[in-house]
Amino acid sequence: MEMTPMAPKCGVEISGVSLAGCSDSEMQAIKQAIYEHGVAVFRDQDFSPEDHIAFAKRWGGIDINAYFPLDPAFPEIALVKKAPDQQTNIGGAWHTDHSYDQVPAMGSILVARVLPPSGGDTLWAHMGAAYDALSDELKERIEGLEAFHTADHVYKEGGIYAQTDQGSDLRGQDVTTGAVHPVVIRHPQTGRKLLYVNTAFTIRFVGQTREESLPLLMELTQAALREDNQCRLEWKPGTVAIWDNRTTWHNAMNDYHGHAREMHRITLTGEPLAA
């Protein structure tokens, strides 16, 4: 295997390995690279739905997404898709998946199945690099803080997605979510300090109202999205991306109107987060 950084602080491209047939030692090296770099990209993969599921099970448990449509033949796989006549995409804002769960998902394995002629790139930002770049004063302000996360305003009936042309495809509009997590967590495997808030699902700090929380949330967002914290992936047929939800935020670009895009996603089970 060969590893090439995608950007100075985020992302790695791994070549010379077949995900469908990787050895146990290759699997361990892939896991470690993702924990450290936040996201790993693999090109030219022959990766069937059966391979996708088998690889995910070698990693650990699979979390079934409550909201996205599922592949009828392979319900472990969520369909992240946009039709040519739709204007709204899924994931088109900076976020980290499942932070609204009591035990957030570790990460995701995303496989390109249908791609537009151009556009539809995905961006990631590294939350270890984001935390490291905070001023000492800001690190002191957030030390010991906890935040409340929920997806109800996004996915419930009448929520943001329900009011778009993606709404009719959504499941789980009656699901209620809510979880409290430390604003600064330690990565369960690497021990690195990570900033753990995001713009989509972090509503407020514990003990504060939404309005009281917004100035600091916006300050942390600006710090997190420094360009030197980010990497960008141009999808091609046969591309697979695997990312760590604790270590990164991501954002799916919505710049391919009039064309279809379909990605297959398996979400990997995580573990409780600690400050």
* 242, burial (CB in 10 Å: exposed 0-12, middle 13-18, buried 19+): buried
As given in the structure block, the two tokens for residue 35 are 């924990």
Among candidate residues 63, 97, 101, 244, the one labeled active-site is 97
Q: Is 265 a catalytic residue?
A: yes
CA-wise closest residue to 241 among 135, 121, 93: 121
Among candidate residues 37, 95, 113, 187, the one labeled active-site is 95
Q: How many CB atoms lie within 10 A of CB 186?
A: 16
DSSP state of 41: E
Q: Is 250 a catalytic residue?
A: yes
Cα gap 200→203, rounded to integer Å: 8
| Residue 147 three-state SS | strand
Are 200 and 94 contacting, i.e. CB atoms less than 8 angstroms apart?
yes
Q: Is 51 a catalytic residue?
A: no
Among candidate residues 187, 192, 250, 264, the one labeled active-site is 250
| Residue 113 three-state SS | strand
CA quadruple 73, 168, 176, 109: dihedral positive or negative?
A: positive
Strands (E) located in the chain: 2-5, 12-15, 39-42, 62-63, 78-82, 107-114, 122-126, 146-149, 179-182, 184-186, 193-195, 202-205, 230-233, 240-244, 248-252, 261-268
As given in the structure block, the two tokens for residue 273 are 């987060």
Which amino acid makes up residue 113?
R
Catalytic residues: 95, 97, 250, 265
